[in-house]
């Protein structure tokens, strides 16, 4: 499933960096004006926050650190907001008013790209996002996803007739007449990707969808889909500790074809915050991570050197490991737009504080040299979910 929630579970004393509370208190991150420090050293981020590329406009914000990036021709803020964890999957649902406040605060602080899906909840995330963004719908980019059956199973359904049905339902929940970006949530092995792309092409011609996206698709599938309907964005898990897109051809394919890349889990599903360790208890009834290989006590302990490496640089930069993780992602490619997710306002401020972190070439080399000496233990998700991640 998508996005990371920076969990507060576990023991803060295990972290060797500034605590979240201390960091927010000491740094007074992202106040009302969010006035400026040097922006990240990333080529694409030199643009202002106003653009008319691809038929959409990202209006200027009070956050002078927030620049724009493009997913294909879709203009978005360089950091988006993953909205899954507010409503589902990384703990019990947050209070509705809390969720609305979080989303609107993200907007006030410069976020213009919000990610949800029908399966989150299911349905409750889209409903929340729709209500929260209704007052400024025309000033934001909303991404949602289709492709699960949502019938008590974990089956997939990307038949064109199913897509035509569920897009109408998503539009109603999101209180909008169009989806700026519509992803196939998982590739359906029983429906040729050309048929899926054709269905989305029809929806684009009808004005109900503006841009097409794929999630956890292989490089080969991306190319096949792109030949029918240009793909604007590909979403996959990608973080400092999860490098699959670097090795399976997906990132290179996106660069070649001019497709944007949207990492979910950009802070290792919360692990790279340094707040989770072998003593962390995740509720298997409400938190999907409880069944993921990397969140067993053994793996949480074994992967600690990764957090320590981030923490070492974070101390030098007066930052947190989470901020170093996000700054690292932004520095990889100018078409990468991470979507960290949280239900906590302090964590939101911390995430956006990554925009003030300048990583020099020497910093990036230090991170890569250190990471090359570290083994990442265990796989991304559980076996059932990994079966739906396309690799070829």
Does the active-site annotation cover 123?
no
* Parallel, antiparallel or unpaired: strands 81-82 and 113-115: parallel
The model's confidence at residue 23, banded by pLDDT at 50, 70 and 90, is very low
Q: Can you list the positions of beta strands (E) in 205-324?
A: 212-215, 231-237, 260-264
Sign of CA dihedral 156, 142, 129, 28: positive
At residue 59, the pLDDT reads: 61
Beta bridge mates, 179: 209
The CATH architecture to which 12-386 belongs is Alpha-Beta Barrel (3.20)
Hey, what are 118's tokens? 């029908």
The model's confidence at residue 299, banded by pLDDT at 50, 70 and 90, is very high
- pLDDT tens readout for residues 108-153: 999 999 999 999 999 999 999 999 999 999 999 999 999 999 998 8
Residue range 316-333: mean pLDDT, rounded? 98
Q: Which residue has the tokens 């996005």?
A: 3
At residue 2, the pLDDT reads: 40
Residue range 74-85: mean pLDDT, rounded? 97
Mean pLDDT of the residues in the chain: 87
Listed by start position, the domains of the chain span 12-386
In this prediction the pTM is 0.86
Choose the catalytic residue: 120, 182, 238, 271: 120
Report percent pLDDT > 90 for the chain.
79
CB atoms within 10 A of CB 116: 31
Give phi and psi for 147, each to the nearest 5.
130, -10
Largest CA distance in the chain: 54
Contact by Cβ (8 Å): 109, 118: no
The model's confidence at residue 239, banded by pLDDT at 50, 70 and 90, is very high
Cis peptide before 122 (omega within 30 of 0): yes
Choice between 338 and 64, residue whose per-residue pLDDT is larger: 338
- For 197-235, give the DSSP string: HHHHHHHHHTTSBS-EEEES--HHHHHHHHHHS-EEEEE
């Amino acid at each position: 499933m998508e996005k990371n929630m920076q969990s507060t579970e576990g023991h803060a004393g295990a972290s060797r960096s500034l605590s979240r509370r201390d960091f927010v208190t000491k740094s007074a991150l992202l106040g009302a004006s969010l006035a400026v420090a040097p922006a990240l050293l990333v080529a694409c981020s030199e643009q202002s926050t106003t653009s008319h590329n691809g038929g959409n406009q990202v209006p200027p914000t009070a956050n002078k650190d927030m620049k724009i990036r493009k997913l294909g021709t879709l203009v978005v803020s360089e950091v988006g907001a993953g909205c899954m964890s507010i409503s589902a999957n990384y703990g019990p649902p947050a209070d509705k008013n809390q969720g609305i406040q979080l989303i609107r605060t993200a907007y006030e602080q410069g976020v213009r790209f919000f990610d949800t899906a029908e399966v989150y909840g299911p349905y409750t995330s889209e409903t929340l996002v729709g209500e929260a963004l209704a007052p400024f719908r025309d000033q934001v980019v909303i991404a949602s996803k289709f492709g699960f059956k949502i019938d008590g199973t974990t089956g997939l359904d990307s038949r064109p007739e199913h897509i035509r049905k569920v897009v109408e339902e998503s539009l109603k929940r999101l209180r909008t007449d169009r989806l700026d970006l519509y992803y196939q949530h998982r590739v359906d092995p029983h429906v040729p990707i050309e048929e899926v792309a054709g269905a989305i092409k029809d929806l684009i011609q009808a004005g109900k969808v503006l841009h097409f996206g794929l999630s956890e698709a292989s490089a080969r599938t991306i190319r096949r889909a792109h030949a029918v309907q240009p793909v604007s964005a590909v979403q996959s898990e990608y973080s400092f500790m999860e490098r699959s897109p670097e090795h399976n051809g997906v990132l290179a394919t996106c660069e070649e074809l001019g497709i944007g890349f949207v990492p979910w889990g950009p802070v290792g599903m919360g692990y790279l915050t340094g707040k989770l360790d072998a003593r962390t208890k995740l509720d298997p009834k409400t938190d999907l991570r409880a069944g993921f290989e990397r969140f067993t006590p053994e793996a949480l302990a074994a992967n600690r050197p990764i957090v320590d490496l981030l923490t070492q640089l974070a101390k030098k930069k007066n930052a947190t490991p989470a901020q170093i993780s996000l700054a690292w992602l932004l520095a990889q490619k100018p078409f990468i737009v991470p979507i960290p997710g949280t239900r906590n306002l302090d964590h939101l401020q911390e995430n956006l504080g990554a925009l003030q972190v300048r990583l020099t070439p020497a910093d990036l080399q230090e991170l890569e040299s250190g990471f090359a000496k570290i083994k990442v233990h265990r796989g991304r998700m559980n076996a059932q979910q990994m079966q739906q991640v396309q690799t070829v």
